[in-house]
A and B are shown apart, each in its own frame.
Chain A
C-alpha cells in the first residue's frame, strides 16, 4: 500500500498500515499512542518477572556467600605449584598414656626437647621446652602416635639463646606410646615443583590428547561425509538430492546435541574415563566439521578447474591443481578451529566423567582444596591460551 493510498482510505485500516514503518505513519499517530508499544512493554515485563523467579535470582547471596569463596580467590594468587624442602633440626621426647612411664633417655649433646611430664592422660596440660637449637628460628611442635601419624600441636620460635617453650593439651589418640617432636627450620631449601603440579600436568596432557583424538576422529569421518553433503557434487548423481538432504539432516541433528550430553551417554556405554570423552568430542566434531567442509566444497569455483582441464591435464592433475588448493586450506583452518574448541571443551568433560583435567579440578573443588584447584585452573588458562594463539598463527598462515 502506498502512503497516499493509506491516507486516502483513512480510518482504522489506515491506522493499522501506519504502525510498522515511519513512511506509512498516518499524520498525528505519535509513538506514545501506539497500543503495540504498551502491549509489547507489558509482555516484556511479564517475561522478565517470570524469568527472574524461575531462575531463582537472589543477588543477596553474592554477598552472603562471599566468605565461602574468599579462600579460593586468595588461593588463585598462591596456587600449589612450588614447594621447598627446608632443612630442619629435630628433637623428640616420649609421652606415654595408660600409666606406663617411658625409659629415661640418656643425656646427649645438641638440641634437646624436654616435657614437663613424660606420662599422663588425654587432656593433660603439658609444657615442652627446647634448648640447643639455632637462635631466632621457627618450627612446629608435633604429636606422633604409636603408628607414626602426626598432628600439629603448636608453632614455636626459638629465642636468642636457641630456646623455646610451648604448652599444649595432650590430644585424644589411639595407642599409648606417643612421641612429641619438634622440627625447627634452619634455612631455606631449593624450590621444586609440587606433587600437585605433576598431577595437574599429567591430566592436562591427557586433556590435550583427548582433544587431539576427538578432533582426529572428527576429521577422519567428516572428510568423506562432507562430499555427500555438498550440493554441487551430489546434484549430478541419481538420488543425489536425497543423499545430500539426509547427510545434512544427520549433521544438523547431531550438532544440536551438546557434547556434554554425548559424554554422559558415552560414559554409560564405555565407562568413565577419557575414552568416553574422545567419543563425545569425536561425534560432535564429525557433525560440525562435516557441515563446514561441505560448505567449503560447495564454494569451489569451477572456472579454475575448467581452465586446467583445457590445458589437457589429467583428472589427477585437475584434482591436485584445481580442487585441492581451493579446499585444503579451508579444511585445515576449520580443523584447527575445531581443535581449539575441543581443547577448551575437554577441560570440562571430566566433570561428567569423561576424563581429563576437569576430573581432578572437580575433586579439588569438592574437597575445598583451593590452592590445588587454583593450580588446575591456571594450567587450563595457560595451555588453552597458548594453543589458541598457536592455532591462530597457523590459521593465518594457511588461509
Chain B
C-alpha cells in the first residue's frame, strides 16, 4: 500500500450551464496530512471536495481513495467509500428538528442494515459510541437537545461528532468555520486538528482566511478559477503568491 490516501488526476467539472468549476486538477494527499484548500469564493473549493465523495459527479478525470476508483464505483461500492469519508459543512447541515443524538447517530448509517431505519433502531453499543463522540467535542450534555437549539459553534461540533461516528480515514471539511465568529472558529478547528493529530485522520479542509490556513494546515493548496495555483507548505506563501491567489487588491488579515 502506498502512502497516498487520496489521488486525484486531471479532475474536471463542468456544470450544465457551462461553468468550468474544476479544470484539470491533479494532486495527492498523504496519510495524516492536514491539507488546507484556499481560494476566493467561486474558485471551486466546494466542487472539489464534493467530487471526492461524488456528492457531485465529476465530468472527467480520476479520483482514487485508498486505491479504490471512486468515479467508477457502483452504488454499493460508493456507499462503502463514503462511509469512510467524514464530511463537515459550512452550514453544519444538521437535521434541525432531530435531537443532537440522532444527528450524531446518522453518521453511522453506512454501517447499519438499512431496514433498521424503519424502526429508528440503533443498537445500544452505537448509542454509547455516539455519547463518546459527543464527549470528544465537549457537549455530551446536549445529547437530547433539539439540534436547532444549539449555538453555531455547538452545531458544528455535532457535525464533527457525526463525522467521527463514521470512523473515517479522511475528513472533508468545506469552510467549516465560515459561519462562526473568530473565537469559535479556533475552537472548532482545534477539534478537527485533534482528530488529525491524535486519531491520525487525514483532513482536507477548505478555509477562506489564509491566517487560519497557515495556523492549522500542514500543507496548502490554492485554487483560482478551478485551477491549482499553489501547492506547498504554509511558509512558502509570500506577498507575491498571496496576491496571485487573492488578487492584487487583497490585504492579508489576521484572525485572532
Contacts and interface: CB of A to CB of B under 8 A. Distances in A.
Interface of A: 301, 303-304, 306-314, 316-317, 320-322, 325-326, 329
A329 B87 CA distance: 27
A316 B82 CA distance: 16
B97 A311 contact: no
A329 B89 contact: no
A324 to B, nearest CB: 9
B94 A304 contact: yes
A325 B97 contact: yes
Contacts of A329: 97
A310 B120 contact: no
A201 B32 CA distance: 74
B125 interface: no
Contacts of B107: 311
B117 A309 contact: no
Nearest to B88: A307
Contacts of A312: 78-84, 109-111, 166
B100 to A, nearest CB: 13
Nearest to A303: B93
B106 A314 contact: no
Given A303-B89, A321-B102, A313 B110 contact: yes
Contacts of B92: 303
Contacts of B96: 301, 304, 326
Given A307-B94, A313-B110, A320 B79 contact: no
Given A314-B114, A326-B95, A307 B162 contact: yes
B95 A311 contact: no
A311 B110 contact: yes
18 contacts: A303-B91, A303-B93, A306-B93, A307-B93, A307-B159, A307-B162, A308-B95, A308-B106, A309-B82, A310-B55, A310-B85, A311-B109, A312-B79, A312-B111, A312-B166, A317-B114, A321-B109, A326-B95
B117 to A, nearest CB: 4
Contacts, number: 86
A312 B113 CA distance: 12
B53 A320 contact: no
B1 interface: no
B30 interface: no
A249 to B, nearest CB: 29
A34 to B, nearest CB: 51
Nearest to B87: A310
A284 B107 CA distance: 42
Most interface-central of B80, B86, B93, B162 (chain A CB within 10 A): B93
Given A311-B83, A312-B82, A306 B114 contact: no
A307 B102 CA distance: 13
A129 B62 CA distance: 117
A316 to B, nearest CB: 5
Given A303-B93, A308-B106, 11 more contacts: A306-B55, A307-B87, A307-B93, A310-B85, A311-B87, A311-B109, A311-B165, A312-B78, A312-B82, A321-B117, A326-B96
Contacts of B86: 311
Contact of B82 (A301, A311, A320): A311
Most interface-central of B81, B106, B114 (chain A CB within 10 A): B106
Interface residues of B, number: 37
A283 B91 CA distance: 41
B118 interface: yes
A82 to B, nearest CB: 48
A253 B65 CA distance: 54
Nearest to A312: B110
Interface string B184-213: 000000000000000000000000000000
A325 B109 contact: no
B185 to A, nearest CB: 20
Nearest to A328: B97
Contact of B98 (A311, A314, A325): A325
B95 A322 contact: yes
B106 A313 contact: yes
B55 A317 contact: no
Contacts of A326: 95-97
A309 B93 CA distance: 11
Most interface-central of A309, A312, A317, A320 (chain B CB within 10 A): A312
Contacts of A309: 55, 82
Contacts of B81: 312
A320 B95 CA distance: 11
Contacts of A322: 95
Contacts of A310: 53, 55, 82, 85, 87
A326 B89 CA distance: 19
A311 B105 CA distance: 10
Q: Which 7 A-B residue pairings sit nearest by Cβ, starting from the closest?
A: A312-B110, A312-B83, A312-B82, A307-B93, A313-B109, A303-B93, A320-B117
Contact of A311 (B89, B115, B166): B166
A310 B81 CA distance: 10
B95 A321 contact: yes
B79 A314 contact: yes
Contacts of A317: 106, 109, 114, 117
Contacts of A320: 117-118, 120
Contacts of A321: 95, 98, 102, 106, 109, 117
